[in-house]
Amino acid sequence: MKVIYLVRHAESMENVQVYRCDRAMDRITAYRLPRCGDLCAASRLLCCNVDSPLSPAGEGQLLDVRGQLQAAGFEEKSGIELAVHSTYQRAARTCRELFGSRCPTVALQEIVERTPWEAMTQEWRFRRRLRWFRSWLAERPEWCIVVVGHGYFFQHLLAGTNNPEPMANVEVRRCSFNPSSLHFSDVELLFEPAEQYSSETGDDTDSFSV
């Protein structure tokens, strides 16, 4: 059995836009006028700029979890042989800040988050990428690998395991991976930000008025 550490990237500006879009929809559903800033965030999401940088809260999350890893002696105890991250900048930055250059690093386009196009019309492409990545992990010679990627991708990668719940930003999970069956098991939460970091600020004063 291989040991795979899964790490979701730190909060990105796209995450913040999604939160604010959801908040705008909640207000509309409750027959309340949405905030101007939330509507602007929703409009930016429509531009499909999926490769966004980290938010200020994401920077704090990185410092938090990096300190936990150092305090636990994670680098020495884990025996990680390879670090893998998606090509999106939020995943690359998270990988670099948490694991530096202490082991070989590989960037994979195939493990980026599900794209808007895949979500709308080509879900099969996303499923194919999941299958490809399982096979890729099985064929790698390393037996201890850390993967820094995205929440939706990981949620479906772990479907059917003991812990398929969505991952929080900079959450670190350890799991076993069977190269023969391509199945994950024994999923365990190891680290997550100790504090609640949020890029959400302000009250209702920036909502539309009539």
Is 38 or 153 the better-scoring residue by pLDDT? 153
Element (H, E) at 106: strand 105-108
pLDDT number for residue 40: 54
pLDDT number for residue 167: 97
End-to-end CA distance of the chain: 62
Cβ-contact 85, 97 below 8 angstroms: no
pLDDT number for residue 50: 75
| CB-based contacts of 132, cutoff 8 Å, min separation 6 | 110
CA 196/CA 125 separation, integer angstroms:
35
Domains of the chain and CATH, by start? 2-12+53-191 (3.40.50.1240), 14-50 (no CATH)
Q: What is the mean pLDDT of residues 114-133?
A: 84
* pLDDT one-digit tens code per residue, 36-53: 655 554 555 555 567 889
Q: How confident is the model at residue 203 (pLDDT cuts 50, 70, 90)?
A: very low
CA 186/CA 174 separation, integer angstroms:
8
Query: Is residue 56 pLDDT above 90, yes or no?
Result: yes
Query: Is residue 26 pLDDT above 70, yes or no?
Result: no
Both structure tokens of 176: 């076993």
Residue type, 31: Y
pLDDT number for residue 193: 96
Q: How confident is the model at residue 210 (pLDDT cuts 50, 70, 90)?
A: very low
Query: Is residue 16 pLDDT above 50, yes or no?
Result: yes
